[in-house]
Amino acid sequence: MKIAITGANGFEGASLCRYFHNAGHQVIAIGRTKNPHPNLLNYASYLQADILKPIVPLEADVCIHSASLKSDTASYKDLFLSNVEGTLNVVEASKYCSHVIHISSSAVYEFGDSPAKEIDASIENDLTDYGETKLLSEEILHLDIPLAQKRLILRPRAIYGIGDRVLLPRLFNLLKRKTIFCPVESKIKTSLTNIKNVGYAIQLFLNQKELPNLQVFNIADEHVYSLQDEILKLLTEIEEEQLNLISIPGGAINILTRLNSKLKFIRNLNPVLIQSISRNAILDTFCIRKELNYNPENNFQNSRLEIAQWVKNMGGKNAYLSNLAMAPWL
């Protein structure tokens, strides 16, 4: 198949380019940058296109739309332009594709005590601006589906893996010398999604013989994780020394956030981020298991060493943080 992938200069897009190239597909990488990283050209041809503007119809069998603006602090206008209007431009450019896949987010949920099911997403929930624009972007996939086209919406939780430049920097920001100042309580449980499992799920979707016009699935690793435990294990693996972890009590987190807004003790610590990590965030994956026979093998435990080695190969934590723009292709 010929597969076009938006956001190819970012973590998810770059990873999916590699995944589908290695699976034997012809890949068209789409990005806004005029000159992509040279490593990209080993896996794909390159189409420069800005999703904020109309795009010429794609000459591909499949379009995977992974480009989006992920930010806790961006304005609603910028989030809407990128995540909603950008998705509209990509869907219109994909009108001749047989399959269209949209990478959405678990931010469309207001998490509670029970695992979130696909039917729980609602604009009436208490969502972040990012979550609201991702849910609005999904609405575009429901409209005007060409007769022969099949569409898939995936809702991952905290995608991680080689090339990550969102989750890992946040974890490094918690590390001061040999101590992790962790704003996540030990009781907090969360789903996480290995980027390889995203590629695996898309391949299962493409292999289906009989499809409805549109499918919407949560996607996550098989395991539910203690976020605090995984932060400690990963950073210890990367630093190659025993680290201490100081857990910030729930009642002190809001105070710390207000102090941090002035003192900048922990970079990028803000109320939106605190909201996302201060409650359980578990996805119900029954539907994707049933409909796609999704049985993922990749998880945080068997990926931790690989991620740590990747950071070390880049020259360590500081070199990684200095090259975030290029990280997906290094």
Q: What CATH number is associated with residue 35?
A: 3.40.50.720
The rounded mean pLDDT for the chain is: 92
Query: Rounded distance, CA 101 to CA 16, Å?
Result: 12
Q: Reply yes or no on whether the pLDDT at 74 is more than 60.
A: yes
Q: Is residue 129 part of a domain?
A: yes
Distances (CA, A) of 56 to 40, 89, 92, 227: 22, 9, 9, 42
pLDDT digits (tens, 9 = 90+) for 161-200: 999 998 899 899 889 989 998 888 888 899 999 999 999 9
CB atoms within 10 A of CB 147: 5
**Distance (Å, whole) CA 205 – CA 203:** 5
Query: What pLDDT is attached to residue 213?
Result: 95
276 assigned to some structural domain = no
Residues 6+ apart with CB under 8 A from 225: 189, 190, 191, 192, 300
Residue 25 tokens read as 């597909």
Average pLDDT over residues 252-274: 55
Q: Does a structural domain hold residue 18?
A: yes
Domain of residue 56: give its range: 2-158+193-221+282-298
Asked if 103 contacts 66 with a C-beta cutoff of 8 angstroms, the reply is yes
Residue type present at position 241: E
- Residue 123 included in any domain: yes
Residue 250 pLDDT greater than 80, yes or no: no
CB 225 within 8 A of CB 254: no
Quick check: is 185 in a domain?
no
Minimum mean pLDDT among 3-12, 47-56, 242-251, 277-286: which range? Answer: 242-251
Residue entry with tokens 């109320």? 271
CB 279 within 8 A of CB 192: no
pLDDT of residue 179: 95
**What's the rounded mean pLDDT across residues 40-46?**
98
The residue-averaged pLDDT of 4-20 equals 98
- For residue 258, pLDDT over 70 is answered with no
Q: 89 lies in a domain?
A: yes
- 268 pLDDT band, cuts 50/70/90, is low
pLDDT at 278 over 90: no
Going by the DSSP 8-state scheme, the letter that residue 40 receives in this structure is G
Averaged pLDDT for residues 90-101: 98
How many structural domains compose the chain?
1
Residue 84 lies in a domain: yes
Give the contacts of 99 (CB within 8 A, at least 6 positions apart): 61, 62, 63, 149, 150, 151, 152, 205, 206
- Looking at residue 255, its pLDDT comes to 55
- pLDDT at 267 (0 to 100): 56
Q: Is 158 left (phi over 0), alpha (psi -120 to 50) or beta?
A: left
In a domain, 168, yes or no: no
177 burial level (CB within 10 Å; 0-12, 13-18, 19+) = exposed
Is residue 94 a contact partner of residue 100, using CB atoms and an 8 Å limit? yes
The helix (run of H) or strand (run of E) holding residue 75 is: none
pLDDT > 90: percent of the chain? 82
Please determine, for residue 148, whether its predicted confidence score (pLDDT) is greater than 70. Answer: yes
